[in-house]
Structure 1
Amino acid sequence: MISRRKTDAVLKRLGKLYQEMDAAYTNAASALGLSCVDCENNCCTSYFQHHTHIEWLYLFRGLEALPEETRARYIERAKEYVEAVGESLSRGEVPTVMCPLNDDGRCAVYDHRLMICRLHGVPNVILSRNGLQHFQGCFKAKKLFESNPEAPVMDRTAMYRALAGLEMELLGKRKTPPPRIDLTLAQMLVMGPPSLK
Structure 2
Amino acid sequence: MKFVSKRTLSRRLAALYAKMGKAFDKAAPEGFTCEGCQQNCCVSYFQHHTHIEWYYLWEGLKALPEAKQAEYLARARENVDRTREALARGEVPKVMCPVNEDGKCGLYEHRMMICRMYGVPNVLLGRSGLRQFPGCPVCMEKVEGREHDRVDRTPLYRELVELEMDFLGSRRNQVPRVDLTLSEMIVAGPPKP
TM bracket, shorter-chain basis: over 0.9
Work out the CA distance in 1 between the residues paired with 2:16 and 2:35: 25
Partner residue, 2:57: 59
Residue 2 of structure 1 contacts residue 171 of structure 1 at CA under 8 Å; is this kept in 2?
no
Q: Structure 2 stretches of 5 or more lacking a match?
A: none
Q: Is 2:101 the counterpart of 1:103?
A: yes
Could you say what secondary structure the match of 1:133 adopts?
A: strand
Does 52-61 or 35-44 show the bigger shift? 35-44
Could you say what secondary structure the match of 1:41 adopts?
A: coil
Which aligned pairs between 1:30-69 and structure 2 lie closer than 5 A?
A: 30=29, 33-69=31-67
Which aligned pairs between 1:62-81 and structure 2 lie closer than 5 A?
A: 62-81=60-79
Question: Post-superposition shift, 1:2?
Answer: 8.0
Partner residue, 2:184: 187
Read off the aligned partner of 1:154 and give its amino acid letter: V
Question: Post-superposition shift, 1:175?
Answer: 7.7
The CA deviation string for residues 78-126 of structure 1, in whole angstroms up to 9 with x for no partner, is: 0000000111111111111000001111111100000000000011001
Length-normalised TM-score, structure 1: 0.92
Work out the CA distance in 2 between the residues paired with 1:161 and 1:34: 27
Which aligned pairs between 1:135-174 and structure 2 lie closer than 5 A?
A: 135-148=133-146, 150-174=147-171
The CA deviation string for residues 133-174 of structure 1, in whole angstroms up to 9 with x for no partner, is: 1112111122233321x2111110110000000000011023
Partner residue, 2:21: 22
Distance 1:143 1:134, change over 3 A: same
Distance 1:174 1:129, change over 3 A: same
Question: For the aligned residues, what is the CA RMSD?
Answer: 1.7
Work out the CA distance in 2 between the residues paired with 1:195 and 1:121: 31
Work out the CA distance in 2 between the residues paired with 1:29 and 1:175: 35
Percent identity for Structure 1 against Structure 2: 51
Read off the aligned partner of 2:20 and give its amino acid letter: M
Query: Number of aligned pairs?
Result: 193
Q: Structure 1 stretches of 5 or more lacking a match?
A: none
Length-normalised TM-score, structure 2: 0.94
